[in-house]
Amino acid sequence: MEYFIQQLINGIALGSIYGLIAIGYTMVYGIIGMINFAHGDIFMVGAFIALITLLAITALGITFLPVVLLIVLIVSMLMTSVWGWSVERIAYRPLRGSFRLAPLITAIGMSIVLQNFVQIVQGARVKPLAPQITGGFELMENDGFIVQLSYMQILIIVTTVVLMAGFTILINKTSLGRAQRACEQDQKMAALLGVNVDRTISLTFVMGAALASVAGVMFLLYYGVIDFFIGFLAGVKAFTAAVLGGIGSLPGAMLGGLLIGLIETFWSGYFSVEYKDVAAFSILAIVLIFLPSGLLGKPEVEKV
């Protein structure tokens, strides 16, 4: 029982990171119907920006951890948001009215560009980081096995809950959220009613990139090692989470992220770690057979 609880805690922490990335996928798809395959690499860029900022702040002699982490988070979110806006403005907006495969091919191309750019600038070797947040709570113990809830896991879970609540309020209660929901239903009609569609889509990319940067900071602090390829792996799993939960649904993206994290963690803990990805994608396939729209997704109704 103790081992199960420990794996549950680990899975929720990992799933929270996947969920934050998955929200970016589902927001973009919900508005313009495009899968932004470069989103995982935006997450990777956010992690590298966080690492560089952290090392720079440490070199300046600032050592008070809450201030350091706050600065790292703000800088990473701002700079990664600029990356997200630039990708949308340069690569996606000119192709918005073209055939559907053009933005998809461009998204894959941007993913490759970002990967290789970081590889050239930062090198191909992994970048380690010493643990910044240590310690935690010992919840229970049995036969020498201690169930631990680390401060880092608490930070990840609390940050995810706060951001999820904030984005839910933003989507449901603000003018930007109303504009996003209007664009999701009908972009032409939204434009006729005075909604700035280009601005709304750009802000959606910015918001998704900001969330991906938060996930990148959490990933860096949690695992302590990053490289130029983490964006591809995390991006594929976050996209899987978005599809599993129901692409276009914010709660579905978070639910899918948690499920993918739990599946990976429990499979690694009780079976073979080599087949954790096989287990996750197998369960995705089974769910989509019976629920083609995902767990919380709504079936698309075409207007005639």
pLDDT per position as a tens digit, 272-286:
888 888 888 888 888
- The pLDDT of residue 116 is 94
Query: Is there a domain that residue 211 lies in?
Result: yes
With 0.85 as the threshold, say if the pTM is over it. Answer: yes
Q: Mean pLDDT across the chain, nearest whole number?
A: 89
pLDDT per position as a tens digit, 116-161:
999 999 998 999 999 889 888 988 888 778 889 999 999 999 999 9
List of residues 6+ apart from 54 with CB closer than 8 A: 68, 72, 129, 132, 220
Looking at residue 271, its amino acid is: F
- The pLDDT of residue 300 is 64
Place of tokens 């579905």: 252
Q: C-alpha distances in angstroms, 223 versus 4, 132, 156, 295?
A: 21, 11, 12, 29
Query: Is there a domain that residue 80 lies in?
Result: yes
3-state SS, residue 226: strand
Give residue 131's Cα distance to chain centre.
22
pLDDT per position as a tens digit, 76-100:
999 999 999 999 998 888 888 787 7
User: Can you give the three-state secondary structure of 115-177, one letter per residue?
Assistant: HHHHHHHHCCCCEECCCCCCCEEEEEEECCEEEEEEHHHHHHHHHHHHHHHHHHHHHHHCHHH
**Residue numbers of the domain that contains 59:** 19-122+148-229
3-state SS, residue 248: coil
Query: Is there a domain that residue 31 lies in?
Result: yes
* Residue 140: how many other CB atoms lie within 10 Å: 12
Q: How far apart are CA 17 and CA 261, in angstroms?
A: 9
- The pLDDT of residue 33 is 78
Q: How far apart are CA 31 and CA 26, in angstroms?
A: 9
Query: Is there a domain that residue 51 lies in?
Result: yes
Q: How far apart are CA 210 and CA 190, in angstroms?
A: 25
Per the structure, how many domains does the chain have?
Answer: 1
